[in-house]
Each structure stands twice: as structure tokens, then as C-alpha cells.
Amino acid sequence: MDAGDRIPHDDWVDQDLLTRDEASERLVAEIAEVTRRIEAGEGDELMERRLSGMKEALEHYRNR
């Protein structure tokens, strides 16, 4: 690649990277939604397992 073909600045700062806080916030919202659906009788075993995994991931983010 010729130096003239490069963009004037690196665009890596534009990537959508989540911080631990942002990931935690999204998990809390998703946990609330999945819990609501399970309590409304819309859940199944897969949804229960997903909820368990999300709770485990949230605990991981909070304890680091």
C-alpha cells in the first residue's frame, strides 16, 4: 500500500468497544427482560440456561 493511499488518520477509535461498565449495564437490562419472560410463562430450558449464563457473566464483570 502506498502511503498516499492511507486515510489521514487511524480509525481504530471508531470501533464499538464495550467497557466492563457498559457490558454490565446491557447484561442487567437483558437479565431483567429474560426474567420477565420466564415469569410470564414464555421461558423454556434454553432460556433458563441463558439467564444463568448471563448472571454468571455479570458476576464476573462486577468482581474484576
2 part of a folded domain: no
3-class secondary structure, 51: helix
Q: CB–CB of 51/59 below 8 Å?
A: no
| 39 falls within a domain | yes
CB atoms within 10 A of CB 61: 17
Tell me, what's the pLDDT at 39? Answer: 97
The answer to whether residue 56 is domain-embedded is yes
Residue 10 belongs to a domain? no
How many domains, the chain? 1
Residue 1 is predicted with a pLDDT of: 52
Answer whether residue 9 is part of any domain. Answer: no
In a domain, 31, yes or no: yes
Question: What is the extent of the structural domain holding 58?
Answer: 19-62
pLDDT in tens, the chain (64 residues): 565 666 666 555 555 677 888 889 999 999 999 999 999 999 999 999 999 999 999 999 888 7
pTM strictly above 0.75: no
Q: Is residue 11 part of a domain?
A: no
In a domain, 46, yes or no: yes
